[in-house]
Amino acid sequence: MSSFNTIRDPLTDHLLTPQNAVLVIIDFQPVQVASIQSRPKRELVANITALARIGKLYELPTVLSTVNVKTGRNQPTIPQILEVLDAVAPYDRTSINAWEDEDFVRAVRATGRKKLIMAALWTEVCLVHPALDAISEGFEVYPVIDCVGGTSLEAHELGVQRLVQAGGKPISWVQLICELQRDWSAQGISERVSEANLLDLRDVRVQLAGDDSQIEVRLGGQDQGARLGKALSVLDAQRQTSRGPLISYIDLTQGKRAIVGLVTGSHTVAESKNE
């Protein structure tokens, strides 16, 4: 089996691609996160951090916005997002609706892209309001539903319903990464990654595609891209040994040491140089 020889134009593709979409993250600040009642807060933070990592991995133009930071009434974006999007300067506002802030709207329009991947707190307000305005201006809006939350489950669900009725296209972050990747034969590290999941705030676990589908990669909380490359190198080397078929995980959270876990319950240590 093989993919078509002619690749669809990523600029005109009706699906999301790294070339036709922009990531918009609004008001993920401590007060807003603390007030969420429709989803466990730890899960919410894990999911939005995964979304930010996806944006960075696929080099999506990203617009980050906060409310009332400069007035001193609110705190900045949560650190989990800022650690990932460290090169993205947030647009601070006083308006509840981000689409009523001139700088924010100018930044979105400046990307030249019409597909907006959006996440905001709360669902029923700071996601719904700008999303409805964007849709009315001809943008396609893709709210990432497992990365948002409301002040109650009912408020969240009603907000999502309103978006769908207006033409919004709900997605999940896993759906998003697969839609952006599209073909596992694509070049680069990501060709062997099938799923990335933040199980806690300091540990990223990545499942590998193809023959490595049962092998877990533990990267830790620092420089995941570089560590993933090292983990794949260790995995390639270890698979050439007699223990190759028995590998269950590669753990790169222990500094220079790479822990190779086996299905038998035992493990071995391989050096990961240049840590």
Which residues are catalytic, by number?
A: 126
CA angle 195, 199, 200 (to 5 degrees): 140
d(CA 28, CA 174) in angstroms, rounded, equals: 20
d(CA 176, CA 172) in angstroms, rounded, equals: 6
